[in-house]
Amino acid sequence: MATRNGSAEWRGDLKGGGGTVKVGDGVFEGNYSFSSRFEDGEGTNPEELLGAAHAGCFAMALSLAQTEAEHPPESIHAEARVHLRIVEGLPTIAKIDLDVTGSVPGLEEDAFRSYAEKAKDGCVVSRALAGVPEITLDARLA
């Protein structure tokens, strides 16, 4: 299997400093700061990147589950909202809400939800995030 890379560089102290994150060999590069992570400042943050990774992995896992069941999707739109909270005095990812809408001809809503649950449990990123206390799922057909 492949090895994937990400990198970050931080300059300065926690509140006054800033950094850049890079995905792969520069496919995406963005700035981040204390403000973009813990307030409403401009830039990205690790939690947004984690949310994008989770949504992407989940969408692919759902496509696989449906295709294997001979219900290949026309499209799947997934979002992951990562909730950063203070738990026992430390910033913690306390919850992730997965929201998915699929366009799958000939598939009933209940079956779509069942495939979505299977994908949520089996996706590589979901498994890597097993320490997150709560991962919710809202799944519906378009």
Q: Report the percent of the chain where pLDDT is more than 90.
A: 97
CA dihedral 108→112→115→120, nearest 10 degrees, is -170
Q: Report the percent of the chain where pLDDT is more than 70.
A: 100
109-122 and 46-68 helices, crossing angle to 10°: 120
φ/ψ bin of 130: left (φ > 0), alpha (ψ from -120 to 50), beta (otherwise): alpha
Between CA 84 and CA 82, with CA 19 as vertex, the angle to 5 degrees is: 20
pLDDT digits (tens, 9 = 90+) for 65-98: 999 999 999 999 999 999 999 999 999 999 999 9
pLDDT at position 6 over 90: yes
Continuous H helices in the chain: 34-38, 46-68, 109-122, 124-128
Average pLDDT over residues 129-141: 96
Residue 3: per-residue pLDDT: 94
Six-digit token pair at 20? 């850049």
Q: Tell me the residue ranges of DSSP E strands in 3-104.
A: 6-11, 18-23, 28-33, 75-87, 90-103
Identity at 49, one-letter amino acid code:
L
